[in-house]
């Protein structure tokens, strides 16, 4: 099975069934019945992280995710406070397009680039900072609604992780396929709606009405399911000795999902509250 997050799919470190075979690797940990995730190569062919690199740990993922989210937060704050009104729209669009383009490059890269991850985080921060300020002004709630959205994102993430661990959720191929197809379908609708809006068609999907609320709720729900898939893939990577460098890929993947979750929660709160 593979994560619906394309970031984690590009590396064999997060791809069950690949035997985790790195050339010149030193044995690490205990493999499953048949290699990574219980399939693939027999146990005696299992290999861990390359000899020149220690295996990835959960602490590595946590630290690098904190660093990436820290950059998102920093640039979001800078955009919120220092972007002049005349540059709000162009920088908002530039941040969104830059974040999307860099995310695509990183998602399809076999080798993760930490510097590019930080550039992505900065661009995402500019987008979120300006977008959050717009929503805060529209609702008249100021920074309060942003704080609520951040707290709701943290609580949702913690509850998702706790549920995944406490109930020992098994991520089956069928569950993964359903989440992947639903996520792709949702993304397709958003892209089509964006293109249609350029020709003057307004479906309300990206707005602050009933349709916008529905799609924001669906987006938040899909983000939660993607978190479960990503938790599972990261746990497998740690268990089976993925190289330390893959912690950056895991951090990037989690950041993409968490940003998606935050944005949808912020929209939900804004729609429920209504504008001034």
Domain boundaries, the chain: 6-273
Contact call for residues 229 and 37 (beta carbons, < 8 A) = no
Q: Quickly tell me which residue has 């997050």 as its tokens.
A: 5
Candidate from 3-7, 153-157, 176-180, 207-211 with smallest mean pLDDT: 3-7
Q: Are 5 and 257 in contact (CB under 8 A)?
A: yes
pTM: 0.81
Residue 254 near residue 35 (C-beta atoms within 8 A): no
CA angle 88, 89, 95 (to 5 degrees): 85
> Residue 4 is encoded by which pair of tokens?
């619906």
pLDDT at 149 over 50: yes
50 with 243: CB under 8 angstroms? yes
Q: Could you tell me which residues are beta bridge partners of residue 32?
A: 35
What pLDDT score does 133 carry?
95
d(CA 153, CA 192): 27
What confidence score (pLDDT) does residue 20 get? 36
Structure tokens at 232: 């599972």
Virtual torsion, Cα 53, 54, 56, 57, nearest 10 deg: -160
Q: Would you state the pLDDT for residue 12?
A: 55
List pLDDT tens digits, range 6-52. 555 555 555 544 433 323 333 333 333 323 233 333 333 334 555 45
């Amino acid at each position: 099975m593979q994560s619906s997050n394309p970031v984690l799919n590009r590396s064999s470190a997060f791809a069950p069934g690949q035997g985790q075979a790195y050339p010149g690797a030193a044995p690490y940990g205990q493999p499953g019945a048949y290699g990574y995730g219980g399939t693939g190569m027999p146990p005696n062919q299992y290999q861990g992280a390359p000899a020149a690199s220690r295996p990835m740990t959960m602490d590595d993922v946590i630290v690098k995710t904190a660093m990436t989210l820290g950059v998102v937060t920093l640039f979001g704050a800078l955009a919120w406070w220092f972007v002049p009104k005349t540059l709000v729209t162009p920088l908002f669009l530039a941040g969104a397009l830059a974040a999307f383009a860099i995310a695509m490059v990183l998602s399809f890269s076999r080798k993760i680039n930490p510097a590019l991850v930080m550039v992505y985080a900065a661009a995402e921060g500019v987008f979120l900072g300006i977008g959050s300020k717009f929503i805060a002004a529209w609702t008249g709630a100021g920074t309060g609604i942003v704080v609520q959205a951040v707290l709701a994102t943290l609580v949702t993430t913690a509850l998702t992780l706790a549920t995944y661990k406490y109930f020992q959720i098994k991520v089956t191929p069928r569950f993964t396929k359903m989440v992947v197809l639903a996520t792709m379908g949702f993304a397709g609708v958003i892209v089509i709606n964006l293109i249609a809006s350029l020709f003057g068609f307004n479906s309300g999907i990206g707005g602050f009405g009933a349709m916008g609320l529905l799609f924001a709720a669906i987006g938040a729900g899909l983000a939660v399911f993607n978190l479960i898939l990503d938790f599972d893939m990261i746990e497998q990577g740690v268990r089976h000795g993925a190289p330390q460098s893959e912690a950056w890929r895991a951090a990037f993947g989690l950041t993409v999902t968490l940003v998606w979750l935050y944005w949808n929660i912020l929209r939900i709160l804004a729609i429920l509250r209504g504008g001034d």
